[in-house]
Amino acid sequence: MQDESRILHRDLRVAPPVAVRAAGLWIEDEAGNRYADACGGAAVSCLGHAHPAVVEAVRDQVGRLDYVHTAFFSNQAAEDLASVMLTDAPPGLAHIYFVSGGSEAVEAALKLARQHFVERGEPERTRFIARRQSYHGNTLGALSVGGNMARRLVYDPILMPAAHVEPCFAYRFRRDDETEEEYGLRAAASLEAEILRHPPGTVAAFLAETVVGATAGSVPAVPGYFRRIREICDRHGVLLILDEVMCGMGRCGTLHACTAEGIAPDILVVAKGLGAGVQPIGALLATAAVVAPLRSGSGSFQHGHTYLSHPVACAAALAVQRVLREGLIDRVAPMGALLAEALTERFGNHPHVGDIRGRGLFWSIELVADRATKRPFDPALGLAARVRESAMARGLLVYPMGGTIDGRMGDHVTLAPPFTVTEEELAMIVARLGEAVEAAVGEAIGVVGAP
């Protein structure tokens, strides 16, 4: 069956197993193997699989109103979802735009920022600044602002220009003689230095993941960093776009990750947990001030797709968002604390785990060849891929990635279990991860002799 697949799978040489059903934490393949989905795919399935309220909402919507084009109609599912999302949005966010995923939402955010400045008479604001070791999606605009060097490499010559400043990644880049706060201010200062390198009034927006996701492995900023970023953006008239595609929608314990930082962006981008994977959906939220020049100017956002505000996607997301707000988000912080405790117990003294970091139910371990010096494994060993395979062989899905430090060096493994996860399931996940890491690291060390 798999040998016959004509799909361009991620690996063009080996087709993945075919999944046939999923419920709660578990996914089953056609051979009857069961996998504990401890990463929700890519931090997507925040309700677990096949949540009955969401399944019912999709059935109901598709039978009543399957699709309408936004050139002709709005639909009630989208209108209701907008109301829910804007009721408890970060301060100032007043408008919402529904697309089909994270990359589309980032593209829309970049274009909205650009059009905002054109319509308010500052067309020379054309530059975007983002951070190294970030990811904002795989379409050309989103890839251009992303700082994931491995994903950019092939496309570099055809990407639009964007500048990349320092990430806020304390384990790797804080100096020993700095407090966390001092480090955060230094990292933020790299944004101001970059803005000042250009003629005044030419930078449109700065983009950052509030908690860095896949590229560096669930890295929260140090206290004070984002407050300083907000000040710098305000001082220079630069829009702040926060990408919470992965870390938002409750994943880090608060509905929006920026709440924990005490700031609000001008444009917020969400996806993944918005529809919990049941339907593809993403959104951007923008302040009235961002949209105002368009309203009083041309009267339209010069953008659009066929599936904007898709009724079935919005109905699924509406059901997801109701479940989250009916109390499920309140489980994230306490269950996350249990996960952190279990990871610390299992890996806290592990010779090849240099850092255990995260927030809410979004945690990663960073694997190192030498814990004292933080020396990473040789990237040629492909440790991240080994961990994914050895975890899968043990019935566990985790999200490992290489290139943690600079796009080439470093390996981490990220966990993003559903918010419905139980204490027993967390213990099982950490135990299986422990076995998978031992096997993969053992194999890697075996390849090179000593690490």
Binding region for ligand PLP (CB under 6 A): 42, 101-103, 106, 135-137, 209, 213-214, 243, 245-246, 271
Closer residue to ligand PLP in complex, CB, 137/217:
137
* Token pair in block for residue 393: 């062989």
Cβ proximity to ligand PLP: between 214 and 369 the closer is 214
Amino acid identity for residue 314 in this structure: C
Q: What share of the chain is helix, strand, coil (3-state, %, to 5)?
A: 45, 20, 40
Tell me the DSSP string of 288-313. HHHHHHHHHTTSS-S---TTTT-HHH
Instruction: Choose between 113 and 245: whose C-beta lies nearer to ligand PLP.
Output: 245
CB-based burial label for 89 (10 Å; 0-12, 13-18, 19+): buried
CB-nearer residue toward ligand PLP: 164 or 350: 164
Distance from chain centroid for Cα 434: 24
Quick check: helix, strand or coil at residue 110? helix
CB nearer to ligand PLP: pick between 25 and 241: 241
Closest approach of ligand PLP to the CB of residue 103, in Å: 3
Give me the least distance between CB of 242 and ligand PLP, in Å please.
10
Q: State the nearest-atom distance from the C-beta of 20 to ligand PLP, in Å.
A: 24
Q: What is the per-residue DSSP string for 223-268?
A: TTHHHHHHHHHHHHTPEEEEE-TTTTTTTTSSSSGGGGGT---SEE
When the beta carbons of 77 and 207 are compared against ligand PLP, the nearer one is 207
* Rounded Cα distance, 193 and 187, in Å: 10
Least separation, in Å, of the C-beta of 188 and ligand PLP? 19
Min dist. Cβ of residue 101 to ligand PLP (A): 3
Closest among 166, 276, 292 to 239, alpha carbons compared: 292
Smallest gap, in angstroms, from Cβ of residue 33 to ligand PLP?
A: 25
Least distance CB 230 / ligand PLP (angstroms): 19
- Smallest gap from Cβ 128 to ligand PLP, in A, equals 14
Provide, rounded to whole angstroms, the least separation between the CB of residue 137 and ligand PLP. Answer: 3
Nearer to ligand PLP, 137 or 141 (CB): 137
Around Cβ 26, how many Cβ atoms within 10 Å? Answer: 17
Q: Which residue is nearest to ligand PLP (CB)?
A: 102
Tell me phi and psi for residue 416, to 5 degrees: -145, 70
Of residues 10 and 13, the one with the C-beta less far from ligand PLP: 10
Number of neighbours of residue 253 by Cβ within 10 angstroms: 22
Q: What are phi and psi of 209, to 5 degrees?
A: -80, 130
**Is the sign of the CA dihedral 94, 95, 101, 103 positive or negative?**
negative
Instruction: Give the shortest CB-272-to-ligand PLP separation in angstroms.
Output: 7
- From the list 75, 81, 34, 87, the residue with the least C-alpha distance to 54 is 81
Dihedrals φ, ψ of 382, to 5°? 55, 45
In whole angstroms, the minimum distance from the beta carbon of 139 to ligand PLP comes to: 7
Q: Nearer Cβ to ligand PLP, position 192 or 244?
A: 244
Identify which of residues 162 and 381 has a Cβ nearer to ligand PLP in the complex. Answer: 162
Cα distances from 125 to residues 128, 131, 258, 267, 340, in angstroms, run 9, 19, 25, 16, 43
Extract the tokens encoding 378: 């040789």
Question: Rounded to an integer, what distance in angstroms lies between the CA atom of residue 96 and that of residue 105?
Answer: 11
Cβ distance to ligand PLP smaller for residue 271 or 413: 271
Cβ at position 115, least distance to ligand PLP in Å: 20
Specify the pairing of strand 211-212 against strand 219-220. Answer: antiparallel
CB 229, CB 254: distance < 8 Å? no
Nearer to ligand PLP, 75 or 148 (CB): 148
